[in-house]
Amino acid sequence: MPENNTFTQIGEAFENHQSFAVVSHVRPDGDAIGSILALGNALEQRGKSVRYLNNDGCPESLAFLPGSEKVEVSGEAGEVDVEVAIILDTAAHARVGQDSLKAIEGAKLLINIDHHLSNPGYGDLNFIDSGSPATGQIVYDLLVALDYPISEISRDSIYVAVSTDTGSFQYAGTTQRTYEMAADLVGRGLNVGEINRLTYDNQPYRRVELMRALLNTLDRSEDGRVVWWDLREETKRELSLIDDDSEGMIDFIRAVHGVVVAVFFEELGGGMIRVSMRSKDKRVNASEICGLFGGGGHALAAGIRMEGPIEEARRKVLAEVTATLEREGV
């Protein structure tokens, strides 16, 4: 991984250019959307021209965020005429998706801002902080360091970005700086109760139906250290699910007493399988296990896109999880 550029160098790039695209990974979560909204709006406040792009657009669950209506589906936007493309919260360049890659291919400068340990530093300018619990926190620190305005849009977006990626400030990666940031956002007028309601207490009923369906597939190892469940294409059709509906479902089984590793297997189109993995013990490094199959992420939360069928993907991944547990004596 190349050395990070400084916030000052990134700020100089901001000031020396006028047009920007802010982009995040496919199947975006709160950190992805929150980060592009927060940084993009701050650039707009500085008089810059900004396009907000995502391969899949803004998910329904985040449409409450002010400014979310500006997020364009990359395939509909086509190639955008911008000087700088900023990719946020995306560990691998290809993870922004083919339509997004095509949309920003004319940009003269690529800036990569992320918090994933597996990020190789694919930008012309890079700032990767795997010690940060969320890319949104990096965006906050960048805006503060550059003395850029934090509008209501940036404020609310940063909070949602960090809150969702830290399990509502519960995960081990949450730092003192995270709480200081949250306190500052409250001081800037953040309505904590309302934004938490919109983020966590505003679910469509089909997610309840999905939970019921997933519980019917729940399985675990004999010793109870590993749990997993499957989401089939057939179930998604029957329940009229959208991609966003399965986000966060893995955290329910992760929370079971005695569980060390939780794994979620989802059938995608084209015979591919999406794997989400959560570990509760740093000795079982989810990023390293997922890296064996071309994936990556964080030590305690990582993912893979791999070839199916789902039975074969499950067999391979669980075998590596079991081997790691035995090797590390967990």
Give, in order, the Cα–Cα distances in Å from 112 to each of 21, 22, 211, 255: 12, 10, 35, 33
Residue at which a domain ends, from 185, 200, 215: 200
Same domain, 260 and 173: no
User: What is the largest distance, in Å, between two alpha-carbon atoms of the chain?
Assistant: 59
**Within a domain: 232:** yes
**Within a domain: 86:** yes
Q: What is the pLDDT of residues 31-56, one digit of tens each?
A: 999 999 999 999 999 999 999 999 99
Same domain, 232 and 150: no
Same domain, 192 and 215: no
**Within a domain: 306:** yes
Same domain, 177 and 227: no
**Within a domain: 211:** yes
Local structure of 274: helix, strand or coil: strand
Adjacency order of strands within the sheet including 49-54: 71-73, 49-54, 19-24, 84-88, 109-114, 125-128
* 153: phi then psi, degrees, rounded to nearest 5: -65, -50
Give, in order, the Cα–Cα distances in Å from 205 to each of 34, 195, 208, 239: 24, 20, 5, 10
Residue at which a domain ends, from 166, 200, 234: 200
Same domain, 167 and 240: no
Angle between the 135-146 and 30-45 helix axes, to the nearest 10 degrees?
A: 20
**Within a domain: 2:** no
Q: What is the pLDDT of residues 11-37, one digit of tens each?
A: 999 999 999 999 999 999 999 999 999
Give, in order, the Cα–Cα distances in Å from 251 to each of 103, 107, 136, 269, 299: 34, 38, 21, 24, 15
- Sign of the alpha-carbon torsion through 86, 170, 210, 308: positive
Same domain, 196 and 226: no
List all residues 6 or more positions away from 24 whose beta carbon is below 8 Å from its beta carbon.
32, 33, 35, 36, 54, 87, 88, 89, 90, 96
At residue 174's C-alpha, the angle toward residues 248 and 54, to 5°, is 50
Answer for the pair 43, 15: CB distance below 8 angstroms, yes or no: no
**Within a domain: 1:** no
Adjacency order of strands within the sheet including 301-307: 219-220, 226-231, 261-267, 272-279, 301-307, 296-297
Angle between the 135-146 and 152-165 helix axes, to the nearest 10 degrees?
A: 150
Residue the block writes with tokens 């010690």: 131
pLDDT of residue 2: 65
The structural domain count of the chain equals 2
Residues of the chain with pLDDT under 50: none
Same domain, 72 and 104: yes
The pLDDT > 70 percentage for the chain reads 99
Answer for the pair 139, 33: CB distance below 8 angstroms, yes or no: no
CATH number of domain containing 50? 3.90.1640.10
Local structure of 127: helix, strand or coil: strand
Provide the domain limits for residue 251. Answer: 206-328
Same domain, 230 and 276: yes
- Give the C-alpha separation, 202 to 26, whole Å: 22
Same domain, 284 and 306: yes
Residue at which a domain ends, from 200, 221, 249: 200
- Give the C-alpha separation, 307 to 271, whole Å: 6
Residue the block writes with tokens 């109760």: 193
CATH number of domain containing 307? 3.10.310.30
Q: How many CB atoms lie within 10 A of CB 175?
A: 14
pLDDT of residue 1: 57
Same domain, 223 and 308: yes
- Give the C-alpha separation, 25 to 42, whole Å: 20
Q: How many CB atoms lie within 10 A of CB 84?
A: 24
pTM: 0.88
**Within a domain: 115:** yes
Same domain, 172 and 39: yes
**Within a domain: 88:** yes
Same domain, 165 and 224: no
Length of the chain: 330
